[in-house]
C-alpha cells in the first residue's frame, strides 16, 4: 500500500458539487492499494501513520501524534499512486489493485482509522472527487509498505 499523508488545518471532498466528507485539523491520507496488498499491509500502514509524531507541540516541534492532539482524518482512495511512468507519456496502472480488492482494503483501512480516531471522513471509492485542503506547514510524507 502507498499513502501520501498531509498534515492539514482543514480538508474536504466534494462530489457533484456536494461536500461528502470534511475534517478540521489532522491528516488527509491519499491511499493507494496495490494488486498484492492484504490486510497485513493495511494494518502495518495504519499503525505507522497513527504513531507518526508530525503534529506540533507547544514549542512548535513535531513531537505529537494525531492521537495526542485529537486530530481528524480524511481518507481518500487514490489508485494513481501506483502510476508507472517509466515508458512513454501515458502512465500505466497495472500495479494497482483491481477495484473490488482495492475497495475492500480501502474500507478496511478506514475502519482501522475509525477504531482509533474519533472523527474520520472518507471520499467515495472510484468517484470523481474534488479534494480541497490547507496543508499545514506544508507537511507531506509519502509511505510505502514495501519500505516500512
- Evaluate whether 70 touches 78 at the Cβ level (below 8 Å): no
What's the CA gap between 95 and 36, in Å, rounded?
Answer: 8
**What residues are labeled active site?**
78-80
What's the CA gap between 138 and 141, in Å, rounded?
Answer: 10
Amino acid at each position: 500500500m502507498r499513502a501520501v499523508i498531509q498534515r492539514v488545518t482543514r480538508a474536504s471532498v466534494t462530489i457533484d458539487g456536494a461536500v461528502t466528507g470534511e475534517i478540521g485539523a489532522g491528516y488527509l491520507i491519499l491511499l493507494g492499494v496495490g494488486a498484492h496488498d492484504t490486510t497485513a499491509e493495511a494494518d502495518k500502514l495504519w499503525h505507522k501513520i497513527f504513531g507518526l509524531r508530525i503534529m506540533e507541540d507547544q514549542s512548535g516541534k513535531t513531537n505529537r501524534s494525531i492521537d495526542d492532539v485529537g486530530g481528524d482524518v480524511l481518507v481518500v482512495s487514490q489508485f494513481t499512486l501506483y502510476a508507472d511512468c517509466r515508458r512513454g507519456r501515458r502512465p500505466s496502472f497495472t500495479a494497482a489493485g483491481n477495484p473490488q480488492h482495492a475497495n475492500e482494503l480501502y474500507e478496511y483501512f478506514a475502519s482501522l482509522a475509525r477504531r482509533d480516531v474519533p472523527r474520520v471522513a472518507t471520499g467515495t471509492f472510484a468517484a470523481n472527487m474534488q479534494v480541497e485542503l490547507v496543508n499545514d506547514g506544508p507537511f507531506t510524507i509519502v509511505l510505502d509498505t514495501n519500505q516500512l
